[in-house]
Amino acid sequence: MKQIHTQFHLAIPVTDLEASRQFYRDVLGGHEGRSTDNFIDFNFYGHHLVLHIAPASYDRTPAMFESKFHNEKVIVPHFGLNLDRQTWGDMAERIKTQNYPFFDPPHVRMAGMPGEHATMFVVDPSGNALEFKAFKNHDEVFSKIFDPMTKDLSSLETVVADASYQA
């Protein structure tokens, strides 16, 4: 069977190409690829991120809002990455060391529940919001752990046991 290499591609507007280059390369750890006066390609942890300089007439007023997520608020829209714990910790330390402000500082979300993860939000120099996560158990990223009737969380063990019982 032919193996398909899947890579996410995202192109975002930036208002200052040099400040964005420094942020994505030096603060977040991206690896710069091709660039011109109008764009910069980054290998962003295996994904293809392109920063395009926005024209002066670009209205950067984002239609951002806060959404509830497990008794916390998250900023929407945003993009980000699910990282391993070591990479996430290294990134958090780089952000702190370079005195770049957190929009939402590093903390653990959903502690003790399926889907527990460390998270942090930053906003780039052009106003794009980013979230970085490190799951305690990466296999729980896409797990269906909600009771469809009550919307209560169930443990993965319960979900697996229920699936085994129904089979």
56-65 residue pLDDT tens: 888 877 678 8
Higher-confidence residue of 41 and 155: namely 41
**Would you say the CATH fold of 65-167 matches that of 1-56?**
yes
Domain 65-167 sits in CATH 3.40.800.10: no
The CATH number that domain 1-56 falls under is 3.10.180.10
Backbone angles phi, psi at 77, to 5 degrees: -80, 160
64-84 residue pLDDT tens: 888 888 778 888 899 999 999
Strand partners, 132: 81, 120
114-126 residue pLDDT tens: 889 999 999 999 9
Closest CA to 128 of 45, 13, 11: 13
pTM for this entry: 0.80
Backbone angles phi, psi at 141, to 5 degrees: -55, -45
**Backbone dihedral region for residue 140 (phi beyond 0: left; psi -120 to 50: alpha; all else: beta):** alpha
Per the CB < 8 A criterion, the answer to whether 107 and 120 are in contact is yes
- DSSP code of residue 88: H
3-state secondary structure of 22: helix
Burial class (CB in 10 A: 0-12, 13-18, 19+), 18: exposed
Give the pLDDT confidence score for residue 158 in this predicted structure: 52
148-164 residue pLDDT tens: 455 555 544 554 455 45
What is the C-alpha to C-alpha distance for residues 8 and 11, in angstroms, rounded to an integer? 10
Domain regions of the chain by residue span: 1-56, 65-167
Give the pLDDT confidence score for residue 154 in this predicted structure: 53
Give the pLDDT confidence score for residue 82 in this predicted structure: 97
Give the pLDDT confidence score for residue 163 in this predicted structure: 46
139 band by pLDDT with thresholds 50, 70 and 90: confident
